[in-house]
Amino acid sequence: MPSFDIVSEVDMHELANAVDQTNRELGTRYDFKGSDARTELKDGSIVLTAESEFQLKQIVDILYLKTAKRGVDVGSFELGEVETTGRRAHQTISVRQGIQRELAKKLVKMIKDSRLKVQASVQGEQLRVSGKKRDDLQGVIAMLREQDVGLPLQYVNFRD
């Protein structure tokens, strides 16, 4: 019976490379000369440090550009609040991995409402979709790509 898995994952190696490229660009840009602006990857989140909130916005733009070039979907980022302490501004960007339970239930309901002859089940932080026909599974993928679920989805482990 053909099946595939729906996951939401971020390639952490590519993300680390994008953070390093961002730091390199911050070191060469004229508007950041002499400032201690930097980005750090810590435990599944990115910590931005700069002298002002305006510089933080510029760092976010640079980071988004670098991650998009490396194939990391910026839809999995969740911007935190800007914290200003003295002459420093900090911001944390959380990197969302996996499909949360509520979203998984919503996806299963959407799949069942599509009237395709497939079964969807939640397995941890991913969904397994199986059916008798390969065309039905491809229909599920096409239907989910049209929907805006608020999280980038990948379709892996397609088996016949």
Q: What is the pLDDT of residues 73-107, one digit of tens each?
A: 888 899 999 999 888 999 999 999 888 888 888 88
86 three-class SS: coil
Q: Phi and psi (nearest 5°) for 54?
A: -60, -45
CATH 3.30.70.990 is the classification of domain 12-95: yes
DSSP letter string over 131-159?
Answer: ES-HHHHHHHHHHHHHS--SS--EEEEEE
CA distance 127 to 100: 10
Domain coordinates of the chain in residue numbers? 3-8+98-159, 12-95
Count of CB atoms situated within 10 Å of the CB of 81:
7
- What average pLDDT is seen over the chain? 88
Q: How confident is the model at residue 14 (pLDDT cuts 50, 70, 90)?
A: very high
Strand partners for 45: 42, 94
* Average pLDDT of the segment spanning 22-27: 91
Q: How confident is the model at residue 146 (pLDDT cuts 50, 70, 90)?
A: confident
For residue 58, is pLDDT > 90?
Answer: yes
CATH 3.50.50.60 for the 3-8+98-159 domain, yes or no: no
The yes-or-no answer to whether 3-8+98-159 and 12-95 have a common fold is: yes
